[in-house]
Amino acid sequence: EYIWLDEFCLSDEKLDWEASSNRDAYENREKERGKELGRLADIFRAASAVCVFCNTVDCDHTGLHCPWGRRLFTLAEILHAETVWRILRLKGGEYEFVQGPGRLFRENIQAKAAEGRQWHLYAIMQHASNSGTVPWQVAIHALLVEAILRDEATGFHNHKYLGRALNGLLPRRARPIDLLGKDGWDDLAWLLELNQGFYNATGLAAVCNLNVGGHGWLGRPIAPSEGRERLEPLAVAF
């Protein structure tokens, strides 16, 4: 039985973690972490249970302000989980374990997303619970926009892993070695190219700002709000 603790769980035993220089040890760790993050969705898809916890008191991990729920890698960890164990921190240093089906956990996240008018997250959880209600084109748009917004919210701290965080969540996946992990935009562009038969590029461009930083037409997403969903069919019509 394996327990995944964010990273290094599948590390090669032959790697020298105490290399002759700190730089060599750091490069070994980063290389191994990058390989594992490129397979993150598949690792969690095969997990018998996913344990969720954060440092906020009285947080049930389904709300929009949960530190765990706002991470770039959260979507890959939870979208295919069969069983979810939640560690709830209580006042006075106490804690409580709550176990339940992953489907119910995602439905609770979906409900909180609707309350907070986070429609991309709402569509993602709806697609995960019942894929027939949300077509792949809408789900892909929602996944991309949500991932970019999460990346931006963390100050692009893990930006180079943007493509790897999405790998395995779209209809067609990239080989981990093809996602270089040097520029998140480049890896994202490769994932889009692999999945071009499943989404409408014009529709995706309609919910993003104009060109940023020389990466073609795809700029940062426009924050969702009532009425802006009309941009997509309007741009497709043009």
Q: Is residue 32 part of a domain?
A: no
Q: How many Å apart are CA 190 and CA 218, to the nearest integer?
A: 13
Confidence at residue 64, expressed as pLDDT on a 0 to 100 scale: 92
Which of the two residues, 100 and 211, has the higher pLDDT score? 100
Q: Is residue 143 part of a domain?
A: yes
Q: Is residue 192 part of a domain?
A: yes
Residues 6+ apart with CB under 8 A from 116: 64
Q: What is the mean pLDDT of residues 125-139?
A: 84
What integer best gives the mean pLDDT of the chain?
A: 81
**What is the percent of the chain where pLDDT is above 70?**
74
Q: What is the mean pLDDT of residues 33-55?
A: 86
Residue 26 has pLDDT above 80, yes or no: no
Q: How many Å apart are CA 119 and CA 228, to the nearest integer?
A: 11
Residue 109 has pLDDT above 70, yes or no: yes
Q: How many Å apart are CA 54 and CA 51, to the nearest integer?
A: 10
Q: Is residue 4 part of a domain?
A: no
Q: Is residue 74 part of a domain?
A: yes
Confidence at residue 17, expressed as pLDDT on a 0 to 100 scale: 54
How many Cβ atoms are within 10 Å of 141's Cβ, its own excluded?
21
Phi/psi-derived region of residue 181, left when phi > 0, alpha when psi is between -120 and 50, beta in every other case: left
Q: Is residue 43 part of a domain?
A: yes
What's the pLDDT band for 8 if we cut at 50, 70, 90? Answer: very low
Reported as a single tens digit per residue, the pLDDT across 51-106 is 998 889 999 999 999 988 888 889 999 999 999 999 999 988 899 999 999 999 99
Residue 23 has pLDDT above 80, yes or no: no
Question: Strand pairing of 95-101 and 83-89?
Answer: antiparallel
Q: Is residue 9 part of a domain?
A: no
The identity of residue 149, as a single letter, is L
Token reading at 216: 């073609």
Q: What is the mean pLDDT of residues 5-32?
A: 62
Q: Are 224 and 196 in contact (CB under 8 A)?
A: no
What's the pLDDT band for 227 if we cut at 50, 70, 90? Answer: low
Q: Are 181 and 34 in contact (CB under 8 A)?
A: yes
Query: Residue 149: which of 222, 238, 232, 87 has the closest Cα?
Result: 222
Residue 35 has pLDDT above 70, yes or no: yes
Token reading at 178: 């093809």
Place of tokens 């006042």: 91
Domains contained in the chain, number: 1
Residue 27 has pLDDT above 60, yes or no: yes
Domain span at residue 213 reads 38-237
Confidence at residue 83, expressed as pLDDT on a 0 to 100 scale: 94
Q: Is residue 106 part of a domain?
A: yes
Residue 173 has pLDDT above 70, yes or no: yes
Confidence at residue 186, expressed as pLDDT on a 0 to 100 scale: 86
